[in-house]
Chain A
Amino acid sequence: MLSRVADSIYWMNRYIERAENVARFIDANFHMILDLPVGAAEQWLPLVNTTGDHELFDELYGKASRDNVIQFLTFDRNNPNSILSCLRSARENARSVREYISSEMWQQVNTFYLTVNEAAQQGLGMDLPHQFFVDIMTASHLFVGVTESTMSHGEGWHFGRLGRMLERADKTSRILDVKYFVLLPSVDYVGSPFDNILWAALLRSASAFEMYRKRHGRIDPEKIVDFLVLDQKFPRAIHSCLIAAEISMRNITGTPRGSFSNRADQALGKLLADMDYITIEEILSQGLHEYLDATQTRINNVGNAIFETFFALRPVGEPVRTKEAE
């Protein structure tokens, strides 16, 4: 398929996944705050940290208040990672590959964008924020479902899933990183009911609460980290995302497991192999933050390698570099 088309499908999926994640962690934060004791400081800035856009936020808003943060993350066109901006980018990408994707997919992206854009223009959504954010998550799920059942599961579909899985792995790692960092210092809460509330909120930020309960039962920080990083069956766990990403990558390149034929294959294969064999104890002993930070960097590197290998429009004659050291 055309490199440009593969690129657009990959990014269309990343952007929709990103919008969904932003909606989810704003919503989870709303819920958490309602359960906190009156007077406990509202934690809004960590949301901005999760998306990695705190510098832009400082510049545009300065002080973090609930309204500021929500506006910035949801509707602000100056923030390239706001829900609205993500959907606009997703739609632009969809528009540029409209002939390639199914018309059902295009319509879902188009309607999704139009709905949020209308809410932005009319100042809607914030009177019943929960419903608004749930609708966004549902629209994203609908997009994934429509894609599953209307698009041939060929190369384009695999590029889409690759994008979605890398984005999701990245966001789960960021949510965990920021929340864990926020939660750790609040030793006052340890063992208190609030401790459970905060950890449960973390799980909800990744839509993981119920599945975690089924897997591990009791709220236990170490097991939560284990679940969100290393679980192989929970679809938002980093490990599980990377497994799916790797399957798609191998479908695209045709390279068998255990070998590689380009830098993208290699970077993702290595990352996944490390995750296959690491234990939660090893992760915590090297420091969770350090581990997550390194993982995010490696996920970024996979993204760059994908760009280099499949999307970059090189002058003719220049070979694709392989076996390049990371």
Chain B
Amino acid sequence: MKFDGYQTENFFDEMFDDKGRPRPGADLVVERINSLPAEELMRRQRAAERALLHLGITFSVYGDESGTERIFPFDIIPRIVQGDEWTIMEQGLKQRVHALNLFINDVYNEQKIIKDNVVPADLVFSAAGYRKPCIGLKPPRGIWCHITGTDLVRGSDGHYYVLEDNLRCPSGVSYVLENRLVMKRTFPMVFEACSVQPVTDYPSRLLDMLQGLAPRNVRDPVVAVWTPGIYNSAYFEHSFLAQQMGVQLVEGRDLVVNRGEVMLRTTKGLERVDVIYRRIDDDFIDPKVFRPDSMLGVPGLMEAYQKGRVALANAPGTGVADDKAIYAYVPEIIKYYLGEEAIIRNVPTYGCWREEELKYVLENLDKLVVKAVNESGGYGMLVGPHASAAEREEFARRLKANPRNYIAQPTLSLSRVPVLVDDHFEGRHVDLRPYILYGEDTYVLPGGLTRVALKKGSLVVNSSQGGGSKDTWVINSSCPLQP
């Protein structure tokens, strides 16, 4: 199989430049793949898929009674990220996460940024992720968001843009680690020759960071990953991370608050837990404080947390900065707290709560993507250029009725990568979700999850909408060609 017939079709391609030459760092991979017999690549693709199924690396499909699980479709052609570009991205992500944490802490405490009129108060307090019970909370070192997954896209100008920040329970890192494992088996030779930056120590870094949050001074703090259970779509990831860290995976029914401490129900009675990496939404963690009908939660947990008897990662309430309306202000937030320009740009964003911007959006619906500020996973969106007149009218009505709830962005021409389609390569749009751990120091997982829109022409990369994934290789540009 060769890349000879592959067309970039005037899109920014991650693998080839506009003259069809491999980009720096990608040449070795291209050469290797070109040298494989045609059948061989397809055979390796099938072997990789079979491995994922038998390893049980799957996600659950909601609403399916028989509990169907699917593998997250995986394409074996890696996406190459140049080392130099990565260094800048890493700095940009650290900057962003740092500023967002200062913002969240400020919002729940002094509210300086609101008083200084940098971010409008009503936007903050009406954010779906804003949690009143968190007012006055002071997590250790002011860190609220310990684990972040930031979605980046690359436009036709070759620049990276932040598409959104996932500050609550970002998913997908387990696929990064498992994809890498499968890739090492699939292309051992290429791996050996290129120095691909490793991702395998993510679980150790995560464990170190979590143990560093322990409220009591013990040698081996007890850490647990909290999952909603096996029917959650990200259950595989919860279980995988617990296993890789060697900590307990717990459900709400395994936890109980006893005399102010959070305890695990064990075969030998109750045992204290120090740090909980919760993969369950704020609303469900404590029925006494949040949703009273939560069957998944633990009564009294928030009180124990507020009193500092247990640590939670991420802290409740971080979702306030996850809101797409707040996103629009992140460049200002960075400047306000750090006095710096944002290293990675935002996608230009119109906030419909601002009258003149709403006007512009309504006049240009056919050119814009409109997003509900509280939705994720590709729901609640209007992709203007692809929408029918009726759909645009419907959205115009919604915008006018509730402008606070919408942002609009120009349709980006997302960059593409080659994927294997039957017996040839075709370009597909991608995004990139790097993962950032913020504890005593900040760690950015090199690369991250590359999601691919597998449907031709589609811009939607979410797994719930038929997206797939690729391994992301951060390679030093100086990666030598083999003699």
- Residues of A with Cβ closer than 8 Å to B? 1-6, 92, 95-100, 103, 106-107, 110-111, 114, 155, 159, 252, 310-311, 313, 316
Contacts and interface: CB of A to CB of B under 8 A. Distances in A.
Given A95-B230, A106-B56, A111-B54, A316 B267 contact: no
A95 B56 contact: yes
B240 interface: yes
Interface in B226-256: 229-230, 235, 239-240, 242-243, 247-251, 253-254, 256
B254 A4 contact: yes
Given A3-B254, A110-B54, A110-B56, A316 B242 contact: no
B218 interface: no
Contact of B265 (A2, A100, A103, A110): A2
Interface in B251-290: 251, 253-254, 256, 258, 263-267, 270
Contacts of B235: 95
Interface in B45-66: 53-56
5 contacts: A3-B266, A5-B248, A99-B247, A110-B54, A316-B263
Given A3-B265, A313-B265, A316-B258, A103 B230 contact: no
Contacts of A1: 266-267
B53 A114 contact: yes
A11 to B, nearest CB: 14
A92 B240 CA distance: 15
A294 to B, nearest CB: 29
Contact of A313 (B53, B243, B253): B253
A77 to B, nearest CB: 9
A106 B55 CA distance: 8
B267 A99 contact: no
Report, nearest first, the 5 A-B pairs whose CB atoms are least far apart: A99-B243, A99-B242, A310-B267, A98-B239, A99-B249
Contact of B230 (A2, A96, A110, A313): A96
A111 B56 CA distance: 9
Contact of A2 (B56, B67, B243, B250): B250
Contacts of B256: 316
A316 B239 CA distance: 27
A6 B243 CA distance: 16
A107 B55 contact: yes
Contacts of A155: 267
A5 to B, nearest CB: 8
Contacts, number: 67
A172 B409 CA distance: 69
Interface string B63-76: 00001000000000
Given A107-B55, A155-B267, A4 B239 contact: no
Contacts of B230: 92, 95-96
Contacts of B56: 95, 98, 106-107, 110
Given A92-B230, A107-B55, A99 B239 contact: yes
Given A2-B264, A100-B243, 14 more contacts: A96-B229, A98-B56, A99-B225, A99-B239, A99-B248, A99-B249, A100-B248, A100-B249, A103-B55, A106-B56, A107-B54, A107-B56, A155-B267, A316-B270
A100 to B, nearest CB: 7
A313 B256 CA distance: 10
A97 B251 CA distance: 11
Contacts of A97: 249
Nearest to B54: A111
A114 B54 contact: yes
Contacts of A3: 254, 265-267
A94 B55 CA distance: 13
Contacts of B229: 96
Given A95-B230, A110-B56, A4 B242 contact: no
A130 B230 CA distance: 35
A111 B247 CA distance: 25
Contacts of B264: 2
Nearest to A156: B267
A111 B55 CA distance: 8
Contacts of B258: 316
Contacts of A310: 267
B250 A99 contact: no
Contacts of B240: 98-99
A156 to B, nearest CB: 10
A248 to B, nearest CB: 13
Given A95-B230, A98-B239, A2 B54 contact: no
Contacts of A111: 54
A100 B56 CA distance: 15
Contacts of B242: 99
Given A4-B251, A114-B54, A316-B258, A98 B243 contact: yes
Contacts of B225: 99
Interface string B202-244: 0000000000000000000000010001100001000110110
A9 B256 CA distance: 22
Given A99-B249, A103-B243, A2 B266 contact: yes
A2 B267 CA distance: 6
A103 B248 CA distance: 15
A313 B270 CA distance: 11
A117 to B, nearest CB: 10
Nearest to B270: A316
Nearest to B53: A114
A155 B253 CA distance: 21
Contacts of A100: 243, 248-249
